[in-house]
Chains A and B, each alone.
Chain A
Amino acid sequence: MTSYSKGDVHVFAGGGTDYAYLAASGGIVSLDRISTRILARLDNAKLERPVLVSQMVDEGFAVEEVNEGIDELYQLSAIHNGTPRDTSSQALPEHFPLQSLVLNVTNQCNLSCHYCYEFGEDKVATPEGKKKFMDWETAKASVDYFFNESRGRQSVHITFFGGETLMNFPLLKQAVEYARNEADARGVSLDFSLTTNATLLTSTIIEYLADNAIGVTVSIDGAKESQDAFRVFKNGRGTYDVIEPKIKELLAKHKTRPIAARVTMTSHAMDVLGTYKHLKHTLGFHEVGFAPVTTSPNRLYSITPVGMDNVLGQFQVLAEDYLAHAQRGEHHGFSNVSDTLAELHQGVNKSLPCGAGLGLVGVGPSGDIAPCHRFVDSDEHKLGNVSTGIDKEKQAAFLKRGNIDNKYDCHTCWARPLCAGGCHHEAFVRYGDTGHANLHYCDWIRSWTDTCLRIYGTIASQNPAFLDHFTERKSS
């Protein structure tokens, strides 16, 4: 006799409708009364089909309808009948062209942020004896390498990164001009972005960034108090007073791309609501994204589990504000929500947590290729050099290590389609292994994904047209 049990599915409600998030696929379906009740009955219970049907009939449903409901749920893997189903992820295509290049134009920085993953106590980089600033030959070779390895893509992206990116602004300009010509010659669409701490912005630079439609992300931790707690010059002086006027000028003059703020949350900077309000409304950033600091757990600035619960509470309040905006069809700048909604809408089901080492690589000043900007200049994680190309064996080993198939802890988690075990770099700092699931934030990820699912469901039932924004949106 066939027995049924609940499959990998997360049931949630939004806007008065019940939904199921199907973890085996990333699909989201709305449930009618019958399918909701079937799933409820199978929650923590294994029932033989006739028993399940008769229980449902007792509730007043017609036999035929119940049978249909069971079959539909089974077909989408929302329930199991004990027959094994293949759950391994799709193999990666043999040739996966690059889509994004992160060019670390320097590993030098004019700040000394205590928590920095490049210089701080948990750094993975081993920059000793290597070039501090990327030279023109290396930048040119990197761009050439990138275009060769991205063949087949119609649209590609170069991000400039550091250290402090603007410490090597002359090279950035040269690289932009060269890459743009190469892209034109190849008929490929190319766009640029950079991340900066904003201390070195000048009117000339801002004008250049605006004229060339270069996207800008500013690393900033919030209002003066939060910013100056960790984001300090080498002499310990806070940076807020220096960057405030520069950011205002940037936001006033640079209108060709949305300008984003990226906040690192620490034990000293956990005021999500206040920070968002300051960055969005006082300074005027288009979008604000938050990420907890990557650190070993014993650092002073590391956020404790209790602190993370507090952060989650604030995220949820801000997410409600996002929802209120979405219901009115208005933009809201909390990018942690919009990024998650974009992925939920598409229904991504990741075998790898991100594109590092696959569609994206980071290149350091020496021309060494790393899986992403966070591993640049680390000998242990070097995948090759732009002059000789990527070492396919090392690349394959890195990707295999990070694949969800090998993260057994994740196999029973319904949030795995989006998380896939989390950041390779975070895992390395915590566990010394890029392929380790980031178990320290599982509960957090599940709560946050659930929050975003409920928002998604509410929008889908009350203002579905709003979701069209995400149809076109790049899943990056």
Chain B
Amino acid sequence: MKHLRPINTKAHRMQERATLENDIVALQSGQSTAVKPHVPTGCTILFSPGWEVDSAGGTAGLCQPVERDIYDCYVTCFWPAQVPDHLNNAPDWTSKCALATKDWRNVDIVFP
């Protein structure tokens, strides 16, 4: 928050929550015009995992869980690729992502 500064305990908690709300912005459009990261489009550089959750908030109930999504895009490459070109440009793209469910934030956009 830039224009409103929390003063009491409740407002501090609200700010923390607001910060979390803005943590994942991929599908959060709505009314907000908040400045969002610039995501260049293109089949090899667009990446938006993390939004696919089932009704319980987990990933197990999805037909294509995020863990599998990364796997299938990246390794078997049948999915319309939303991952960088790992053969030529970004061979280490998932090196910081040992466990996709936990570490997906480390998987970043790649600029060729």
Contact = CB atoms under 8 A, between A and B. Distances in A.
B10 interface: yes
Given A71-B32, A71-B34, A81-B31, A27 B5 contact: no
Given A68-B2, A71-B34, A74-B31, A26 B10 contact: yes
B91 to A, nearest CB: 39
Given A67-B33, A71-B32, A28 B3 contact: no
A76 B32 contact: no
Contacts of B32: 71, 74-75
B31 A2 contact: yes
B9 A346 contact: yes
Interface of A: 2, 19-20, 22, 25-32, 34-35, 64-65, 67-76, 78, 81, 83, 344-349, 456-457, 460, 471
B63 interface: no
A32 B18 contact: no
Kindly state the interface size class of chain B when it binds its partner. Answer: 20 to 34
Interface of B: 1-11, 13-14, 18, 21, 31-35
B6 to A, nearest CB: 6
A59 B62 CA distance: 51
Contacts of A460: 7
B7 A75 contact: no
A77 to B, nearest CB: 9
Given A71-B32, A71-B34, A76-B14, A30 B8 contact: no
B34 A68 contact: yes
Contact of A69 (B3, B9, B10): B3
Contacts of B4: 20, 29-32, 35, 72-73, 76, 78
Contacts of B9: 345-347, 471
B34 to A, nearest CB: 5
B11 A22 contact: yes
A25 B13 CA distance: 11
B10 A347 contact: yes
A117 B1 CA distance: 49
Given A67-B33, A68-B34, A71-B32, A76 B7 contact: no
A345 B31 CA distance: 31
15 contacts: A20-B4, A25-B11, A26-B8, A27-B6, A27-B14, A28-B10, A34-B3, A69-B3, A70-B33, A72-B3, A72-B4, A74-B31, A347-B8, A347-B9, A460-B7
Contact of B11 (A64, A73, A347): A347
